[in-house]
Amino acid sequence: MQLKEHRSLVTGGASGLGLAIVERFVAEGARVTVLDRNAERLEMLKGRLGDRVEVVAGDVRSLADNRRAVAAAVASFGGLDSFVGNAGIWDFNMSLLDLPDDRVDAAFDEVFGVNVKGYMLGAKAAALELVRSGGSIVFTLSNAAFYPAGGGPLYTAAKHAAHGLVRELAYELAPRVRVNAVAPGIIPTDLRGARALDQGEQSVASIFPPAGASLASPLGVVPHTEDYTGPYVLLVSKADASTITGAVINADGGLGIRGLRSANGGAHLLELVTNGNEVASI
Catalytic residue positions?
Answer: 155
State the distance between the two ends of the chain, measured CA to CA, in whole angstroms.
61
The answer to whether the CB of 213 falls within 8 A of the CB of 222 is: yes
Instruction: At 58, give phi and psi (nearest 5°).
Output: 180, 180
Extract long-range pairs of 53-56: CB within 8 Å, 24+ residues apart: 53/22, 53/26, 55/14
Nearest Cα to Cα of residue 32 among 247, 232, 243: 232
* Residue type, position 34, single letter: V
**Pairing relationship of beta strands 53-57 and 82-85 according to DSSP bridges:** unpaired
Going edge to edge, which strands form the sheet with 136-140?
Answer: 53-57, 31-36, 7-11, 82-85, 136-140, 178-184, 248-251
